[in-house]
Structure 1
Amino acid sequence: MNPVPDSPVVPGPANAGVANPSATTAPTFSPLYQQIKALLTQSLQAGEWKPGELIPSEVELAARFKVSQGTVRKAIDELSNENLVVRRQGKGTFVSTHHEERAHFRFLKLMPDEGVPVHPDNRILEVKRLRAPAEVARLLDLKSGDGVVYIKRLMSFAGAPTILEELWLPGTLFKGLTAEKLEEYKGPMYGLFESEFGTRMIRATEKIRALAADAATAAQLQVASGTPLLCAERVSFTYGDKAVELRRGLYLTAHHHYQNELS
């Protein structure tokens, strides 16, 4: 029978490990499954298992960390609830990826009043590199004046302009991101960030308010100046709670609504 120590082993090769009570990877007072969850998250962040890849089984992970299978299962359950991994019946547990259909609608919350959600058509209006304004730098935890990539795009449903978005991305993480690369890529933008730049959005915070369209915005959305819009400002984070995107979206809601699930 495998012993269950008070603290898990430090992550390493599958056959490695002796208990390391002095490890600082997680507080020693946290529940054991939380310590295993922290170690698994570190492995995900380090790229030990890539997006879309199968991770080791619960039995293998229990042997690796010298804990019970139930402890591993509880840790993976939490990772699944946080959309870091996805369970597939009869196949195992896989690292979540933004290339999955369900991942796209995790972040696109504008839903049609009638019919099923569909992917919008995207038109890139502008891509440029600039120095971060003070407010952008603050929200992305950058120094004022640090380089950022600025993207502006228009999203349409059935030919009708519906969303006008502005994005700011840390320049050091997104070297080589160009308008041509964005236009050539046919999948979701977060899928491009994941596969080409190794940056995966795992959670976000949003502020939502109503405002009236100014003349420039109204012209791009093909509505009258002063038309009511929904404004959603989102900061997205990757592993380690590192802010990696600021996004400001202006939404027309004549035929759509913003839908979120609360639990």
Structure 2
Amino acid sequence: MSSSQFVVSLARVRPRRVSAMARRPRTGLRSGSPKVHALSLKRSLSVVVYTTWRVHSRGVAAEPTYLELADGLAASLGNAGERVVSENELAERHGVSRPTARAALQELERRFLVRRIRGAGTFVSRRIDYVISHDTAPSASATLRLAGAEPDVELMSARTMGAAADVALHLDIERATPVVHLQRRIRIDGIVTSWTSAYLLACAVPGIASQMRCHTSLFQVLREQYGIESQRRWSRASLELPTDTVIQTLELEGRPPTWLVEGVNHDRADRRRAIEFTRSWMRADVVNVVFEMGHPPEVVR
């Protein structure tokens, strides 16, 4: 037997030596009520118990577990953006309880196969591989386009400031050295996907704030306007719990683990000097960060 359900009936109850405590009326129970509520039955009551077993046997189908239900749904999901059945529809269609239907949808969400939007419903999601390697340009827009997405870049702010301690450490400069701080947000399919803070040496990119108001790709602006060919010097990625600011900026539900991607870039022509330090928060349900090192083996035919 792989699954079972116990059904207890208290309809036939024959009283024996019922103690004074058992005879005492309890709050919420009226005399003659079929519901019996006591701390311990001991030998005071003789209870007839009926048990119904649901087993995997010929002619009897057991209720599927939420994992079995999630596996079946995963195999039948449509295109990205399509609406998925609700908990009630799922429960009625497969003859399961609503908690089982809810657990199945939550499992699909944990697998990043669907996205649940409060007040709108559940929808098939599209997850994009964001590949970081030494051979690819450090350009978020180009990386997303290579993966088949069309990023919509929004410049949130651009200002010159003194480098904080962590920024100075990564750029190998003195603290309070002037840097340009650019904040950008990228949407894919209308969903806020990433929020990036980029810090650049102000002396190397004069007037870049005005340039970024007319262009969407920082990588292209550096190459075309300043002759800087950015190349990765150092990168790291980790799944972190987002701060309240990140939750608000990425328009997240709850506090799900979110990719934190950091990197330092230098000019290909002058590798001794770091040009840019970036810190990006990316939604894990939209982006799958992939690190590639070396060269993949050739396909043997």
Aligned residue for 1:202, secondary structure, equals: strand
Q: Cα deviations across residues 31-57 of structure 1 (Å, max 9, x unaligned)? A: xxxxxxxxxxxxxxxxxxxxxxxxxxx
Match of 1:228 among 236, 257, 260: 257
Q: 1:108 to 1:228 in 2, by over 3 A?
A: farther
Q: 1:255 to 1:111 in 2, by over 3 A?
A: farther
Q: 1:225 to 1:107 in 2, by over 3 A?
A: same
Whether the aligned pair in 2 keeps the contact of 1:231 and 1:248 (CA below 8 Å) is yes
Match of 1:209 among 238, 245, 259: 238
Match of 2:286 among 255, 258, 261: 255
Q: 1:111 to 1:231 in 2, by over 3 A?
A: farther
For 2:293 and 2:271, locate their aligned partners in 1 and report how far apart those are by CA, in whole Å. Answer: 24
Match of 1:194 among 197, 218, 223: 223
Unmatched runs of 5 consecutive residues or more in structure 2? 1-133, 295-301
For 1:250 and 1:208, locate their aligned partners in 2 and report how far apart those are by CA, in whole Å. Answer: 10
1:157 paired with 2:188, answer: yes
Q: Which amino acid aligns with 2:265?
A: S
Matches within 5 A, 1:1-263: 103=137, 116-178=147-209, 180-186=210-216, 188-238=217-267, 239-263=270-294
Per-residue deviation, 1:171:
0.7
Whether the aligned pair in 1 keeps the contact of 2:138 and 2:230 (CA below 8 Å) is no
What stretches of structure 1 move > 3 A for 4+ residues in a row?
102-112
Per-residue deviation, 1:109:
5.4
Unmatched runs of 5 consecutive residues or more in structure 1? 1-81, 84-101
Per-residue deviation, 1:255:
2.9
Q: 1:259 to 1:105 in 2, by over 3 A?
A: farther
Whether the aligned pair in 2 keeps the contact of 1:109 and 1:258 (CA below 8 Å) is no
For 1:121 and 1:177, locate their aligned partners in 2 and report how far apart those are by CA, in whole Å. Answer: 20
For 1:230 and 1:122, locate their aligned partners in 2 and report how far apart those are by CA, in whole Å. Answer: 18
Whether the aligned pair in 1 keeps the contact of 2:137 and 2:230 (CA below 8 Å) is no
Q: Which amino acid aligns with 2:225?
A: E
State the superposition RMSD in angstroms: 2.5
Q: Which amino acid aligns with 1:217?
A: V
What TM-score comes out, normalization by structure 1 length? 0.55
For 2:266 and 2:178, locate their aligned partners in 1 and report how far apart those are by CA, in whole Å. Answer: 18
Q: 1:111 to 1:204 in 2, by over 3 A?
A: farther
Per-residue deviation, 1:105:
6.1
Per-residue deviation, 1:247:
0.1
Per-residue deviation, 1:137:
1.1
For 1:143 and 1:202, locate their aligned partners in 2 and report how far apart those are by CA, in whole Å. Answer: 22
Aligned residue for 2:192, secondary structure, equals: strand
Per-residue deviation, 1:206:
0.7
Q: 1:128 to 1:171 in 2, by over 3 A?
A: same
Q: 1:118 to 1:233 in 2, by over 3 A?
A: same
Q: Which amino acid aligns with 1:160?
A: I
Q: Which amino acid aligns with 1:124?
A: L
Q: 1:260 to 1:161 in 2, by over 3 A?
A: same
Q: Cα deviations across residues 73-105 of structure 1 (Å, max 9, x unaligned)? A: xxxxxxxxx76xxxxxxxxxxxxxxxxxx7476
Greater percentage in helix = 1
Instruction: Report the structure number with the largest CA radius of gyration.
Output: 2
